[in-house]
Structure 1
Amino acid sequence: MNKITNYQLFAVTFIFQLGTTIIFGFGGSAGRDAWIAELASCFLGSLLILVYIALMKLNPGLSLVQWFPAQFGRWIGTPIALLYPLLYIYEVGRIIADIRDMVSTALLSNTPLSIIAGLFAIVVAYCVYGGIPGIARLGEMFLPIVLILFCIEGILLLGSGVMHVHHLLPVLEHGWGPIWKAVYPPGITQSFGETIFLAMFWPLTQNPDKVPKITFLSTYLSGIMITVFNLMAIMVFGNLFAGFLYPLYTLLSVISIGKFIENLQMLGVLYFLMTALLKSVALMLAAVMGIQQLTNRKSFKPFVIPACAVSLFLGLTMSRNIAEHIYRHHFEVLVPYIWVPMLIVIPAILLVVTVLRRWIGKTFTS
């Protein structure tokens, strides 16, 4: 099986962490202090990633779904491990729902939602069939495009004269309460806690010893990039930032230079489609690889079509509109009842069990 290079791992991790945050924004509940919430989330999220890295080092050569049977035993560990591929498939369904609503709202208002979602699911399935080399090439291709678009957007916003530093003031107007509400649990788990999904690919890197350094570097850079996006949006919209459903998409609509360079929302759609596609492919590949490893099959490819079909069904049926999708399913259900247990609690318990088993083993053998 082909290995992932250091650059490819960095590219995939960086874009995966940006994900849909690059268009939905982050920390709207913190108002003009959303940029502080993002920095705090990045710092605390990196501590959570430290737990994942420790688990990788304590279980050398094993992927995420193999950690649990190795430490909890086959009968307890396998059912727990299976929850993660199922979560990946659900996450892809959520991204398909994001695509469904975003594209139909911004571009193809008269196109049936099933056509938009179905085409995206087909592209995801095609890319997943390419395996590790496919996702690695996607990361290599998308990373420079995302960074170039980001620089272009910043330059055009500065040239438009629409950003005002006074919109950032007063800092901490309502104290740390709204910031902490944005940080925990949504800020820590979104993007940063989700990095555990990439643990499916860590054993497949050319230099496993470089995984911690690459992962932390991409984490800090993605956190800085989202923080800069928030700062730009707040300097343009002020407190109105919290009221926009797609703040970073809306931000592009205010660019106007000489009445010639205007209406650049397509850049936002391009951002969104690239990051959403790579994240979906990574999640789906991790899901089918996880199922393959847990069922001891020779290939993950027989699972691709059924898994993508389930994600498509979920993407079309899990919510009736974008408001229900985000505020009900994400903040009220997904974050507290799924992400917190699976991204924080279970990995923490696994780390404690792993350390205790190693300590006990050394005690009895010495």
Structure 2
Amino acid sequence: MEKVRISSYQLFILVVLFELGTAILFNPGGLAKQDAWIANLLGLAAGLLLFWVYYRLFRYYPDIPLTSYAQKIIGKWLGSIIASLYIVYFLYQSSRILRDIGELLITTLYNQTPLLVLNTFMLFTLLYGAFKGIEVVARVGELCFPIVYLLAISGFLAILLTDIVHLDNLKPILENGGGIILKTVVRSTLNFPFGEMVVFTMLLPYLNKPKKVLHICLGGVLLSGINITITSIINIAVLGVDLFIRSPFPLFNTIRKIELSTFLQRLDVFFILYLIVAGFFKLYLYFYVAVVGAADLFKIKNQTKLVLPLGTLIFFGSITIASNYAEHIKEGISLIPYFIHMPFQVIIPVILLIVAFFKHFKSSK
């Protein structure tokens, strides 16, 4: 692996920015309607439990990423196949996130700009960060983190100071029963965003203090999960249930309703600024672990040689992944959770942990 180290604080920041990423812009849990915040909390609890699986795998193999210890656990041949599939998964997710960012920018601000142009500019930034490495980007995260939270706190206060919050929109609680909430957790809030912590199975060996991994990552997931839950409560209270579930970007619509007197209006720029900062970190981490995984699997010492070809691959993938945004969203709701996220985030890691446990138990005997 690349000879770099990141601090505990930098890892915490990367976890929070990655988890918030694009999740806070959409409406995870929207299937549960006014109970979306409950689905988010249950998804958070399940996500914390799922991260324990990733953590135990890291404890068994603290110096190598998932693409390496998969081969040690289930054998060279089958493990290489699993590692290859994870690389494809990370690249596919990179393409989807790049498409998400481009579509968001077109919808909110650059409605006359072609998607190709926006994705090209984002790609240049991504490639530059990949050439510089995770250590440099982690330092940038230290600078961006206060900006993101200052924007979040400012927006929250601005919403509270205006007469647009109606808590009655959150009632009746559990109107549709608990079944729809559990379905929402399995279909949405577990894998987006909490199950995406599988990305950090490729990054944890970079930490300079491995003993702090569990507390740092659980703290980061918990903080981001609380923020997502609060955001869903605010969106429902401001927009109402119908507009919340129909809006592709409910937070954007909520921010547009903020009007303080005649001098504080049109705060869309804060939304765009957050989108670019947090969205970039999520895109970067997915892409970077794909590069790391490919370099590890194919024994390439200089992983920067893979940055340009893999970057070109996700760029064309982001353009061709769907013919329009409606098709892109439909795939993300109906197909991705069951056929892509569930195997790579839950099923394969659990199987790897079970096999690793018995192998270590047998060797200790």
Q: Same fold (TM over 0.5)?
A: yes
Q: Which runs of 4+ in 1 moved over 3 A?
A: none
Preserved CA contact (<8 Å) 1:128 1:281: yes
| Amino acid aligned to 1:290 | G
Q: Is the 8 A contact 1:23 1:271 kept in 2?
A: no
- Counterparts of 1:244-259 in structure 2 under 5 Å? 244-259=247-262
Report 1:1-366 matches (<5 A): 1-240=3-242, 241-327=244-330, 329-363=331-365
Aligned residues: 362
TM-score (norm 2): 0.97
Q: Which amino acid aligns with 1:274?
A: V
- 8 Å CA contact 2:16–2:224 kept in 1: the answer is yes
Cα contact 2:28–2:192 (8 A) shared by 1:
no
**Secondary structure, aligned partner of 2:300:** coil
Partners of 1:277 and 1:138 in 2: CA distance: 11
Whole-Å Cα distance in 1 between the matches of residues 105 and 168 of structure 2? 34
**Matching residue's letter, 1:298:** K
**How far off is 1:188 after superposition?**
0.8
Q: Shift in Å at residue 362 of structure 1? A: 2.3
Shift of 1:273: 1.2
Instruction: Find the aligned partners of 2:273 and 2:36 in 1 and give their Cα distance.
Output: 24
Shift of 1:53: 0.5
Offset of residue 233 of structure 1? 0.7
- Would you say the 8 A contact 2:27–2:245 is kept in 1? no
1:199 CA displacement: 1.6
Question: What amino acid maps onto 1:142 in structure 2?
Answer: C
C-alpha deviation, 1:104, in angstroms = 1.3
Provide structure 1 residue ranges, at least 5 long, that are not aligned to the other structure.
none
| C-alpha distance in structure 1 between counterparts of 2:275 and 2:26, whole Å | 9
Q: For the residues of structure 2 that align with 1:272 and 1:247, how far apart are their CA atoms?
A: 13
Structure 1 position 219, deviation (Å): 0.6
Shift of 1:138: 2.8
1:14 positional shift:
0.6
Distance in 1 (alpha carbons) for counterparts of 2:269 and 2:130:
26
| C-alpha distance in structure 1 between counterparts of 2:289 and 2:203, whole Å | 8
State the percentage of identical aligned residues. 32
Instruction: Give the superposed CA RMSD.
Output: 1.1
Which stretch of the first structure deviates more once superposed, 216-225 or 175-184?
A: 175-184
Separation of aligned partners in 2, 1:201 and 1:47? 19
